[in-house]
Structure 1
Amino acid sequence: MVMQRTFVMIKPDGVKRGLIGEIISRFEKRGLKIVSLKMVKMSRDIAEKLYDEHKGKSFFEELVNYVTSGPVVCMVIEGDDVVQVIRRMIGNTDPKEAPPGTIRGDYALSKSENVIHASDSIEKAQREMSLFFDKSDL
């Protein structure tokens, strides 16, 4: 077993629709540990840093505007192979391609309003966690 930590964020549509408890419950029922959690109103600067890899793409502005449109819930979650486990749990970015039983398959309304973000690698998780959490939070 290799314990890892990853960054997960419930996006504004998930918060607005009251899905926070349901999503956290899924992670806990899977045996994952919530190490730290906070609700924040993300600044444009942080949003641009979070989605830096998409800068220059056609959807970048829409994405930044969307994630700064309301509160988000940021979490650090720990578990065995947690990055891959959570990526499987959340499903494809496009809810039409996300299987039922995944978070996006069950709750996402569109490719842009897809409820949740999760790091796709350990390296990105480290960078993304540092945008929202101090070492003392972890």
Structure 2
Amino acid sequence: MSHHDERTFVMVKPDGVQRGLIGEIVSRFEQRGLKLVGAKFMQIDEELAHEHYGEHEGKPFFEGLVEFITSGPVFAMVWEGADATHQVRNMVGETDPAESPPGTIRGDFGLDLGHNVIHASAHDDEGANEREIDLFFDSEELVDWGLDAATWIYEDEDH
């Protein structure tokens, strides 16, 4: 991993899985030039859901978040690239799909705040990436590999 690269956590939520959007979402990140370094199709249990949404515990919508994220399988991923968290957040759109412009994942596929298709680490929360990646992946599940197309994506030769 280059010193300019960062890793960020992304998850297709149960509604995105049920709607068959995994391939479309993965394609968008690949087409952008990000590199997939970890992925798993999984069912989140209540304990992991509570850890993942821990900052919302005690809020009125917390139980609904836990119930929804455990309602079906998810596709958890780690993407790598220059300024990956910011890039991904721009591609994902606003939390409320109604506020997300067309062309963003939520703008194109989401209609409801509670069923907004995808989760991505917050770029304004220092340490969110590492915390979420560590929650969902063991270090040996992440693959360091060279993206041959990087010379066509980045001007900087460090990639």
Equivalent position amino acid for 1:32 in 2: L
How far 1:69 sits from its partner (Å)? 0.2
Q: Which has the larger radius of gyration?
A: 2
**Stretch of structure 1 that moved more, 63-72 or 116-125:** 116-125
* C-alpha separation in 2, matches of 1:68 and 1:126: 22
Please identify runs of 4+ aligned residues in structure 1 that moved more than 3 A: none
Equivalent position amino acid for 2:95 in 1: T
SS in 2 for 1:37: strand
1:40 counterpart residue number: 42
Deviation per residue, 1:2-37 (Å, 9 max, x gap): 200010000000000000000000000000001010
SS in 2 for 1:96: helix
| Number of equivalenced pairs | 138
Q: Does 1:17 align with 2:19?
A: yes
The structure with the largest strand share of the pair is: 1
Equivalent position amino acid for 2:141 in 1: D
2:132 counterpart residue number: 128
How far 1:58 sits from its partner (Å)? 1.0
**Stretch of structure 1 that moved more, 13-22 or 115-124:** 115-124
SS in 2 for 1:92: coil
Matches within 5 A, 1:17-96: 17-96=19-98
How far 1:132 sits from its partner (Å)? 1.2
Percent of pairs with identical residues:
56
* C-alpha separation in 1, matches of 2:71 and 2:111: 16
TM (normalized to structure 1)? Answer: 0.97
Contact 2:14–2:73 (Cα < 8 Å) also in 1 = yes
* C-alpha separation in 1, matches of 2:4 and 2:78: 16
Deviation per residue, 1:24-67 (Å, 9 max, x gap): 00000000001010000001100110011111111110011000
Deviation per residue, 1:85-123 (Å, 9 max, x gap): 000000001011000000000001300100000001451
TM (normalized to structure 2)? Answer: 0.85
Question: Please, which runs of 5 or more residues in structure 2 have no aligned partner?
Answer: 143-159
Equivalent position amino acid for 1:137 in 2: E
Contact 2:6–2:82 (Cα < 8 Å) also in 1 = yes
